[in-house]
Structure 1
Amino acid sequence: MKMKNSYLVILLFLAMVFGAILTYAGIEILAEDEVKQDDTAKEPIVTTDEEKKALLEATLGKNEFSKIQQAYTIIQENYLEDVDQQQLIEGAIQGMLNSLDDPHSVYMDLETVEQFNDSIESSFEGIGAEVNMEEGVVTIVAPIKGSPAEEAGLKPKDQILSVDGESLEGLDLYEAVAKIRGEKGSVVDLEIRRPGVSETMIVEVVRDDIPLETIYSSTKTVDGKKTGVIQITSFSQDTAADFNKALQELEADNIEGLIIDVRGNPGGLFTSVEEILENFIPEDQPYVLIEQKNGEKIRYFSGTKEKKDYPIAVLTNNGSASASEILAAAMKEAGYDVIGEQSYGKGTVQKTIPMNDGSNIKITIYKWLTPSGEWIDEKGVAPTVEAKQPDFFYTTPINVEEPLKYNMAEDQISNAQIMLQGIGYKTGRTDGYFSKETEEAVKAFQQENGLTVTGEIDKLTAEKLQQQVLEAARDEENDLQMKKALEILY
């Protein structure tokens, strides 16, 4: 390779890096004041290789960027096979971000940016789960309400190890997501490792269109009191406006209390949760603290004069993350009850910054703290009232290679026993030993569901059992967390 080309690529690389820095600085400065550009500033004119080399040495020799140029040259001149220049540049950017050891700071190439924008704007095709990279493993934050991921029984904290038998090890988050997503109607087999379960499992998911409707409202009347319920499944561009509209309609319907449900909500836009909190947090109390790089803390206040004149509670679980936790923490410290389980534990704010060629860097720019100054990262927000769902809510899909039958003992049998008991069949035990009583419970289940009565759990029986468990989990009668919220609200 000629030296001319190597210098050109390094110049392009530096232009991309400095372009990103200037873009970021411009966004921050323009929020406060007008930036004027000096049109008289001129670039130095260089024409020969020697002049370019001298300019580079004058620029790069004073700092560590010269190592990048040296590494690039070594690879191009010595590596066994040809290497694409763009691949090296993007690899260098990705390497810098990987060195931050922050799963939320990532590089998105042009293809990834397109996929990212599609998922934000209206709908996309895939399994419907928010994922994150934790300790190098793709981890589910939460399945989206009504999505194929939820239908298949995927849970927060599930780790995705492989897709259709192909390991995700070594891939970045967006490379892994590209393999998980796919056309509507196509089937993907995900190898899942679930915390507390000794064996991995294969979960079959049928991809579908994933709409981004984020607000669901309803009313519940208990003991003559009408309670409004607003479920927020994520915080997107229209979420705050849709929430405010739903709240106005519920108040016009004369509700006497309100439950805000952010269970399984993986977060989203910070501005959306800000606008929602404006309804409930009085003006003399901050609803969040933002800690900047220099340690300075900025308090954010609402313009609300006083609280609503009806009681309010918030529902959370371990799939409530990021913006959901900002809402839960603010409401908790303002004196409202938070009911359910400890939240996910994501206490940082990211910003997506475009680069000159249309690619993006999503990078962590702030910590967010609760109004009292607590950082909940990797800890979560503790509920004021703990409430768990029935045990069968936490079961896993059953992988059947060989039928499970009498006198066997393993974790999957324990899982099946908890499922059967949850939908009304008496197994006598849940310790994983396939007893005679468990066999009779399986026979009764098969009889009532038109299956061949064998007393063994084969693939068809396991699929039918999983289907009924999911239906039972959607039954409001089994939602113990919602029942607890309604119980303590008044």
Structure 2
Amino acid sequence: MSESNEDQQTAKKQKKQVNFKLSSFILMLVGIVVITAVIAVFATIAISHWASGLNSEQRTSVKKIEQAYKTLDKEYYKPTNSKKLSDAAIKGMVTKLHDPYSEYMTKEQTKSFNEDVSGDFVGIGAEMQKKHNTIQITSPMKDSPAEKAGIKPKDVVTKVDGKSVKGKPLEDVVKKVRGKKGTNVTLTVERDGQSHDIKIKRDTIHVKSVEYKKHGKVGVFTINKFQSGTSAELKSQIIKAHKQGVKNIVLDLRNNPGGLLNEAVKMANIFIDKNKTVVSLEKGKHTESIKAPNDALKEAKDMNVAILVNKGSASSSEVFTGAMKDYHKAKVYGTTTFGKGIVQTTKEFKDGSLLKYTELKWLTPHKHYIHGKGIKPNVEIKEPAYQSLTVIPNNTTYQLNDDNKNVKSIKIGLQALGYNVDNKTTKFDSELQQAVKSFQEKNNLSTTGKFDKTTNDKFTQQLVQKANKDESVLDKVIKQLK
């Protein structure tokens, strides 16, 4: 009987031990699961943070933007448009960069941007940028409606069709300037402190990036823009010129606003040997040298090269010119270039919108940074005086005995058009009055001898036409090559 009690007590004790061990095991499993879950959560957060590429401060800022977005989207007293809110947030960030070359574009604006790069669009043919809160012309494209109407590099656009563009985003101004083929748009521009209205007829702009003409024994290649295929076009035309026995060539980059950097590199590679640095890109302390990937074109090796530039030669035009000048592959003629030493890149979003932003600055192979300074030519050849005239306001009538700086511009312009004006003073004298009468009579205008709005408009039109045909600067370059 006593033995039986002992056996029962032993059995109970063993059962308790088993129960205790089982509960401890379950608790341990629960603990492992909890710890694993916690580790997984923190690991996920850590991986997420790492993948985002943001530091702690940046993540806090983005969180704040997200909270503001959610609050306005859900709690604003009127219905909101989620896409417009997000677009506005991105535009706000870009605006705060104070960079005329960075911008956010909607799907529709991205289409226009891609058309520019491909070389076909409807508009006036003028490259624009936003600088110091103003809309500025980088350069009008050669033979474009803008150039024919008298638009010049660094003109400041103040109005489009009479409406101020002050404070407007660049993309909004571009949208107003573009329109249907055959319609007109009037730009009010400021040049050297003078304001002038310029009426332009929109047209399909097909930018043929390379044009080749023979001037005697000299081959002239007019390069209008660095777009997809430009380097291939130039290479083909140089081979053609070489077969014709051409040894001296002029690469005319006047009013070339630039374009694709890779095309500038490939174009330089036509003349610059393999593995030579064409351009250096800098971002903070990091520097990358972009080298010529192929052997130089054999047909170009024995050619004497001249490059012709002016203040409208910008961006990729300067990358190419800088490399050619540094390696003494060409002599540069003309006037100092625009001075754009920074590079933009783009990021396209799933909805078709695009962010264009400045990513790098660039230097020539010999480490010259030309931003804001431009490239000075080896040989300066200034444009004729009439091509550099300030705009003469067409809301003022000038007449006998007036004394004004614009009177001097009238004299220079009329002399360029072939009228008898010998002195270049600011006084509206009898000689100028007679020249104005002769101009009015020849153009079927009222012969008053007063330089009024109608006379001014015809005068400006004829000067622009003359400038488009004037090859005096090019002729001086060709003369030096012969």
TM-score range, shorter chain: 0.7 to 0.9
Q: 2:280–2:287: 8 Å Cα contact kept in structure 1?
A: no
Which structure has the bigger radius of gyration?
Answer: 2
Residue of structure 2 in register with 1:442 after alignment? 436
Give the Cα separation in 2 of the matches to 1:185 and 1:348: 36
Deviations 1:151-204 (A, max 9, x none): 11111000101111211122211111001111122221211111xx23322111
Q: 1:72 maps to what in 2? A: 69
Alignment partner for residue 214 of structure 1, among 201, 209, 218? Answer: 209
2:280 maps to what in 1?
A: 289
- Which of 472, 482, 490 aligns to 2:466? It is 472
Task: Compute the displacement of 1:446 (Å).
Answer: 2.2
Question: After TM superposition, what 4+ stretches of structure 1 lie above 6 angstroms from structure 2?
Answer: none
Which residue does 1:129 correspond to in 2? Answer: 126
**How far 1:402 moved relative to its partner?**
4.6
What is the letter of the counterpart of residue 472 of structure 2?
A: L
8 Å CA contact 1:392, 1:419 repeated in 2: yes
Instruction: Spell out, residue by residue over 1:12-43, the C-alpha distance to the aligned partner (whole angstroms, 9 max, x if none).
Output: xxxxxxxxxxxxxxxxxxxxxxxxxxxxxxx9
Q: Sort the Cα spacing of 1:431 and 1:376 in 2 relative to 1 into closer, same or farther, 3 A.
A: same
| Aligned-partner residue type, residue 342 of structure 2 | T
Structure 2: gaps spanning 5 or more residues: 1-39, 42-55
Aligned-partner Cα distance in 2 for 1:155–1:334 = 31
Rounded Cα–Cα distance in structure 1 between residues aligned with 2:184 and 2:254: 27
Per-residue deviation, 1:412:
3.4
Whole-Å separation in 1 of the counterparts to 2:219 and 2:313: 20
Q: 1:73 to 1:384 in 2, by over 3 A?
A: same
For residue 367 of structure 1, report the CA deviation from its aligned partner: 1.5
Give 1:451 deviation, angstroms. 3.0
Cα 1:185/1:317, change in 2 over 3 Å: same
TM-score by length of 2: 0.83
State whether structure 2 residue 364 is matched by structure 1 residue 370.
Answer: yes
1:324 to 317, 326, 339: 317
Q: Any idea what the Cα deviations from partners look like across 1:418-456, whole Å, max 9, x if unmatched?
A: 211212223343343321111011112223333332211
**Conserved in 1, the CA contact under 8 Å of 2:148 and 2:468?**
no
Structure 2 residue matching 1:63: 3-state secondary structure: helix
Percent of aligned pairs sharing the same letter: 34
* 1:426/1:295 CA distance change after superposition, 3 Å: farther
Displacement of 1:309 in angstroms is: 1.4
Q: Distance in 1 between matches of 2:235 and 2:63?
A: 54
8 Å contact from structure 1 (residues 387, 480) kept in 2? no
Work out whether residues 119 and 227 of structure 2, in 8 Å CA contact, stay in contact via their aligned partners in 1: no
- Greater shift, 393-402 or 101-110, is seen at 393-402
Pick from 146, 151, 161 the counterpart of residue 149 of structure 1: 146
Structure 1 stretch 80-89 or stretch 139-148: which is displaced more?
80-89
Provide the C-alpha distance between the structure 2 equivalents of 1:243 and 1:80, rounded to a whole number of angstroms. Answer: 60
TM-score (norm 1): 0.81
* Cα distance change on mapping 1:238 and 1:228 into 2, 3 Å: same
Change (3 A) 1:92 1:167: same
Q: Partners of 1:130 and 1:61 in 2: how far apart?
A: 35
Q: Which amino acid aligns with 1:424?
A: G
Distance 2:141 2:59 in 1: 50
Q: What is the one-letter code of the residue matched to 1:394?
A: S
Please, which runs of 5 or more residues in structure 1 have no aligned partner? 1-42, 45-58
Instruction: State which of 252, 256, 268 in structure 2 corresponds to 1:265.
Output: 256
CA distance in 1 between partners of 2:260 and 2:74 (Å): 46
Q: Is 1:353 aligned with 2:347?
A: yes
Q: State the secondary structure of the residue aligned to 1:231.
A: strand
User: May I ask how many residue pairs the two structures share in their alignment?
Assistant: 426
Which structure has the highest helix share of the two? 2
**Partners of 2:294 and 2:112 in 1: how far apart?**
37
Is the Cα contact below 8 Å between 1:105 and 1:363 reproduced in 2? Answer: yes
Deviates more, 1:152-161 or 1:197-206: 197-206
2-structure distance, mates of 1:369, 1:129:
26
Structure 1 residue 89, shift from structure 2 partner: 1.0
CA deviation vs aligned residue, 1:221-275 (integer Å, no higher than 9, x gap): 2xxxx01010100011121121111111111111120100000000011121222
Cα distance 1:61–1:311, how it changes in 2: closer, same or farther (>3 A)? closer
CA deviation vs aligned residue, 1:340-380 (integer Å, no higher than 9, x gap): 01101111121121112211111222211101011111111
CA-atom RMSD in angstroms: 2.4
Contact 2:73 2:81 in 1 (8 A): no
1:334 to 327, 344, 357: 327
Q: Which residue of 2 aligns with 1:239?
A: 230
Residues 293-312 of structure 1: matches in 2 within 5 Å? 293-304=284-295, 308-312=301-305
Aligned equivalent of 1:205: 200
Question: 1: distance between equivalents of 2:445 and 2:148?
Answer: 22
